Chain A
Amino acid sequence: GNSVTQMEGPVTLSEEAFLTINCTYTATGYPSLFWYVQYPGEGLQLLLKATKADDKGSNKGFEATYRKETTSFHLEKGSVQVSDSAVYFCALSGTGFQKLVFGTGTRLLVSP
């Protein structure tokens, strides 16, 4: 079945540091890939998505590129802020009646 593997956290960075959170997936066919973010005490929000190979999703300075050859969708941001502290979830969804499969989440802590 489909699955998502993302790096264990927490990831601890200083403000303005470069961020990478790794995500790899296993899926049949051509899934859509997502990054969701969960701020403390809140529900999940879509951060960005990509629906086909080589697509780049971007939002709020975050980027991720759908790499079919390496089955990866790593999240990057050039300069993190304290307000980016949250839990980040990589997820995939197939077509048809397919459920959204989440990774285990990676907590990001950014200090001033």
Chain B
Amino acid sequence: DAGVTQSPTHLIKTRGQQVTLRCSPISGHKSVSWYQQVLGQGPQFIFQYYEKEERGRGNFPDRFSARQFPNYSSELNVNALLLGDSALYLCASSWTGQNEQFFGPGTRLTVL
């Protein structure tokens, strides 16, 4: 079975632009979470979705938004990009959100 997939792998944007990152969970998993990892730090929680409903939101500005589709895939949108948004964005899936979390390979976002 395929693991968690994310696209694109790498992305380069300029300040002020908008970006959309995509995630497909493991088949059967209904929960998707998004994390931001800056170099040298542990991942920081951004959002969790379960059954298309937002279940939790981390301490990130409103420029960050997300949604989950009927097939349980998810998109993370970031508007008005700042240099500080440069990071590895990780998606994790699980059955319900409180089970073992499985991570995708991440999307490396560079903001110039």
- A, B from the same assembly: no
A interface list, Cβ under 8 A from B: none
